[in-house]
Structure 1
Amino acid sequence: MASSSSQNVFNTLRKVFPSYSISLTNQEIAEKIAKTLINGGLKPLETTPYLLFNLNSQITQLVLSNPRVPPHSGLIFFNFLRRNQSLASYRPDLQAHVTLIYRLYEARKFAQLKNIVNCMVTCDYFRCSVSGIVASFEDGYKNNSKFAEKLCDMLLRVYADNRMFDEALCVFHYMDQKGFEIEERSCFVLLLALKKSDRMDSFFGFFDRMVQKGVEITVYSLTVVIDGLCKRREVEKAKALMCKLAGRGIKPNAFAYNTLMNAYIERNNFEAVHEILSLMDKNHVGYNATTYTILIQWYASSGKFEEAERLFEEMCNRGIEPDIHFYTSFINWTSKFGKMKRALELFDEMTERGLVPNAYTYGALINGLCKAGQMEAAGMLVNEMQSKGIDANQVVFNTLMDGYCKKGMINDALRLQIVMEEKGFKPDVFSFSTIASGLCRLNRNNEAKTLLLTMAERGVAPNLVSFTTLIDIYCKEGNFVEAKRIIQDMEKKGEKPNIVTYNTLIDGYIKQRKMKEAYKLKDEMEDKGIMPDSSRLTSCVMFKSMLPLHVFRASRANLLLHTGPKAMAQKRRVDIVYGIRMLHGHHDLQSH
């Protein structure tokens, strides 16, 4: 509405004073606008805008560069021209932007300066290249290298913030050519932006340029590069870089060490983890909360709870407060290993410290209780969670259903599924697979099969577990044609059968004494690089050798009965040869 009103005023005044502005020069109009801004601010220009009739880039430039106009007033005038739709043809050009930036630089108003630089590089109504911007301040401010240096530094950051990486790299190159001081903080902004945008080749390339051009490298840039290398699984390269820069006086901090240590833990390289800990001790780098969290989680996940508890005590004695993330992780691992008493103690300790458990904390504890078969306690914890305004999520519902199914409480699991759907959660593949497995445990195979076959109709794609459960059902029915078809269907859908899937089918064949098919499937597994476990091999050998072993024993008894002690030496040789041939899968006794 305001823009429309201003436009109407313009049109009216043009008719009333058609030649007023023509009698004034650009200098005179600029002077009058400047006086208006100084004495009355922007309002007189909005109510009586006759001074803006013949506004042009020169007038705007004269107003913004007028030393008597305070930078704040110049900024107001600039924004008025930029935002007012009725003044679209008078919007500030590149030179106006640079002029105002210089005024703000002189006044040390760097926050406002950055905003104008951002407007300049993201402006919709004019696009200017890096070379164009550089040329504009080279022409007007070539004797003020500090301003040019500051503007370039700000440009580097703003381009990085706007993910305009090619432009940012051009600015870096220009600054290097001109011999400007390049601030590491600005380079860090660009490094971080490249990493967040997953431009990893540019990220590492830019860091190399920083090192080559002598930019001061701080521990912050070092840490972000170490993290980038670790995420690319180049952990040894990250460690080598850390040691190299440490030799140049850039000492890694706890964050850098933590990043490397976490990468080694993920790769189960425990020797390297201890090397990192030794380096921290050698360089007098103390553990922080993250260090303790990583180490305690590592020991707990490996079942080394004594060491985990020792570190936890050390952490508390050093006055390092564990946070909610730490407690949730520790509770999760103690619960997974069935140490529910300790998990509940940690939960109580956490709340006593004033930390508020979240859905993940409750979920970890509920999962542990369900695995321990303590379904009543799990239900009570769910009620407590909901009373505190934390709704049960899909994971919690699935965890409870799994617990009920493993306890044989299938009806409770089915009722919970209905509650879950009433709360707006659609059963996922885990929900269906859990219920189906529970039904199978109770020999309700037809119900399980129906559930799994209708799963796709509800828009849920089967996974490895649901496929394997269905194969197990068909094997129990003796329907091996369908069981094999399921395996083929899995492969078509990109779900590769694993050892459990194959073992399920092998077990089915063995139980039906289909040893030829079992051995054929075993060979198929090995061709695909999947080695059957020893129990299945033993089962196959036992069933396959049962008949020839029976024949052998009968022959042996007959030999002893009719030939007496004289034949014992021959018998022992037969035993030895038979044993050797049995190991190699040969059962033809007639050849002996």
Structure 2
Amino acid sequence: MSSATLKRILHRALYPKPDSTHSISLFTTVSSSPDPLVTDAVAILTHRRCKSRWSTLRSLTPPGFTPSQFSDIILRLRNNPHLSLHFFLFTRRNSLCSHDVDSYSTLTHILARSRLKSHARDVLRLALRLASDDDGEDRISKVFRSLIKSYNRCGSAPFVFDLLVKSCLDSKEINGALMVMRKLKSRGITLQISTRNALISEVSRRRDASTGYKLYRQVFGLDDVTSVDKIKPNVNTFNLMMVSFYRERKTEMVERIWREMDEEVGCVPNAYSYSLLMETYFARGMMIEAEKIWEKMRLKGVVYDVVAYNTMIGGLCSNLEVTKAKELYGEMGSREIESTSLTYDHLVRGYCKVKDVDSAMVVYREMKRKSFEAEGLTIESLVEELCDDNKDRAVEAAEIVKEAVRESEFLPSQKCYELLIKRLCVEGKMDRALSIQAEMVGRGFKPNQETYNAFIDGYGRAGDEDTSSLLAIEMAESLKLRAEEE
């Protein structure tokens, strides 16, 4: 008797087959001649303690398992998907199986049918990387065909193909995802609405909003009178399309999508939908229409959320209606809706636009007390207003910039530096202007004629004619050299 046969006999004695009352089978077909190695491996995995099962498996078969054997093993472990996953990771970690697309597909089905979706997507991504086109077949088609082939054997669920589409999108394989969608449609398999939305969103983002809109009508069969698809677009479908068109400044399409949502599909908009429409009207300067939408939300009982408030506050501030915006800010507090950094950014910039820098600074200090970081545009708006001709607050502006650079990695623009330097020179703060100029040069910005003139005039007013004259000479030489370089 060979040592291998003896080892199998010993294993069968030590690890008998599980009692039939505890085993659940989804299939009526059983292999007439099971592989002894598969049987032994299943017995070890199901009856050995965790600490010893892995070392015992290594000693059982030093050469490892074939992909087919691996698939047979995890099929018999299909009611314990976590154990199947651990076994898979064990074989990879110890190089005990040269996995192929079919073994990956089997594991994907087992994980998917147990709703371990994130793990299933991870395995699918591995399958997509492994698949090659040596036989002329596209790698995504190969994975798809393997999933189809093993679908019934594994007792899988249709959403496993949604996971494949999403895995394609994760890998930026838009064409592959669309191909899978079409092949599924030809087989009468429909994708979940979240998958369709993900497809539309990715196509809109990577191509353009119009292409995404065409895909939307296709995947929901809106232009196909023979379509029997029972899944209808939801509010998220319309929101993502409105966002895509808004980003491309195609505001008329945002309105069209809004009408289709209501009139063609009968979908009820949510607070975010209303916010998108208000943002569209504000972008076109249509204040009255935006305020009507705000009131419509109130009449329909749509609860205002922080996005809606920020949209309205931002729109009012951009159209110089800062008093109304501040009233809405107060209303947020009374409703216990926490403001965000964007709320304060809108208000600070709004006050700067109406030349009320004192109120802007009050809001900015409150923003800092709440540990919010201001956007770069907000900082530069404050600098511009503090450096206004009628105010001597350039040092205060310089401190704001210094603090923002230190705390939030704010990168001032050349215009911001030039404003500070010119105003500091006007106020006679020459040393501070020089330090700002040194920082500006250190960031790669070259002083222009206006900067030189600011220093020349500043030193002249301070009575330092020698420095002023030297700077005039340096400016002439610098401008001449720059002209030659250009």
Question: Same fold, TM exceeding 0.5?
Answer: yes
| 2:72 counterpart residue number | 62
Q: Greater relative contact order (Cα 8 A, min sep 6): structure 1 or 2?
A: 2
Selected match of 2:40 from 32, 35, 38: 32
Deviation at 1:229, TM superposition (A): 1.8
| 2:324 counterpart residue number | 307
Q: What are the superposed Cα offsets for residues 7-58 of structure 1, whole Å, 9 maximum, x if unpaired? A: xxxxxxxxxxx9959x999812222233333323322334x3x624374333
Selected match of 1:76 from 82, 86, 89: 86
Ranges in structure 1 where 5+ consecutive residues have no aligned partner: 1-17, 462-592
Q: Following superposition of structure 1 onto structure 2, how do residues 573-588 of structure 1 map, counting pairs within 5 Å?
A: none
Q: Distance in 2 between matches of 1:322 and 1:158?
A: 36
Letter of the structure 2 residue corresponding to residue 413 of structure 1: A
| 2:128 counterpart residue number | 121
Relative to structure 1, is the Cα distance of residues 68 and 260 closer, same or farther in structure 2, using a 3 angstrom cutoff?
Answer: closer
Deviation at 1:99, TM superposition (A): 2.1
Q: Distance in 2 between matches of 1:69 and 1:303?
A: 64
Q: Distance in 1 between matches of 2:440 and 2:261?
A: 55
Is residue 2:271 matched to residue 1:250? no
Is residue 2:277 matched to residue 1:260? yes
Q: What are the superposed Cα offsets for residues 191-240 of structure 1, whole Å, 9 maximum, x if unpaired? A: 23333434545422221113326432121121110111223333222212
Q: What are the superposed Cα offsets for residues 347-391 of structure 1, whole Å, 9 maximum, x if unpaired? A: 333345x344447455543443222331233345456667x7456
- For the pair shown, the structure with the greater C-alpha radius of gyration is 1
Contact 2:184 2:190 in 1 (8 A): yes
**SS state at 2:175 partner:** helix
**SS state at 1:149 partner:** coil
CA-atom RMSD, angstroms?
3.8
| 2:479 counterpart residue number | 452
Q: Following superposition of structure 1 onto structure 2, how do residues 485-496 of structure 1 map, counting pairs within 5 Å?
A: none
| 1:339 counterpart residue number | 356
TM-score (norm 1): 0.63
**SS state at 1:147 partner:** coil
Relative to structure 1, is the Cα distance of residues 204 and 374 closer, same or farther in structure 2, using a 3 angstrom cutoff?
Answer: same
Deviation at 1:159, TM superposition (A): 1.3
Selected match of 2:181 from 157, 172, 176: 172
Q: Distance in 2 between matches of 1:383 and 1:53?
A: 65
| 1:507 counterpart residue number | none
| 1:427 counterpart residue number | 445
Relative to structure 1, is the Cα distance of residues 355 and 414 closer, same or farther in structure 2, using a 3 angstrom cutoff?
Answer: closer
TM-score (norm 2): 0.75
Q: Distance in 2 between matches of 1:60 and 1:143?
A: 15
Deviation at 1:344, TM superposition (A): 2.1
| 2:100 counterpart residue number | 93
| 1:189 counterpart residue number | 198
Contact 2:261 2:268 in 1 (8 A): yes
Quick check: which one's helix share is greater?
1
**SS state at 1:166 partner:** helix
Relative to structure 1, is the Cα distance of residues 26 and 93 closer, same or farther in structure 2, using a 3 angstrom cutoff?
Answer: farther
Number of aligned residue pairs: 431
Q: Distance in 1 between matches of 2:250 and 2:402?
A: 46
Q: What are the superposed Cα offsets for residues 249-303 of structure 1, whole Å, 9 maximum, x if unpaired? A: 3122222222233233333344543454454355443443333333333333333
Q: Following superposition of structure 1 onto structure 2, how do residues 405-444 of structure 1 map, counting pairs within 5 Å?
A: 405=425, 407=427, 412-421=432-441, 424-428=442-446, 431-432=447-448, 434-436=450-452, 438=454
Q: Following superposition of structure 1 onto structure 2, how do residues 231-250 of structure 1 map, counting pairs within 5 Å?
A: 231-247=247-263, 248-250=265-267
Relative to structure 1, is the Cα distance of residues 302 and 177 closer, same or farther in structure 2, using a 3 angstrom cutoff?
Answer: same
Deviation at 1:113, TM superposition (A): 2.2
Contact 1:394 1:425 in 2 (8 A): no
Contact 1:264 1:273 in 2 (8 A): yes
Contact 1:435 1:448 in 2 (8 A): no
Deviation at 1:76, TM superposition (A): 2.7
Letter of the structure 2 residue corresponding to residue 285 of structure 1: V
Selected match of 2:396 from 373, 377, 397: 377
Q: Distance in 1 between matches of 2:451 and 2:262?
A: 56
Ranges in structure 2 where 5+ consecutive residues have no aligned partner: 9-32, 222-226, 461-467
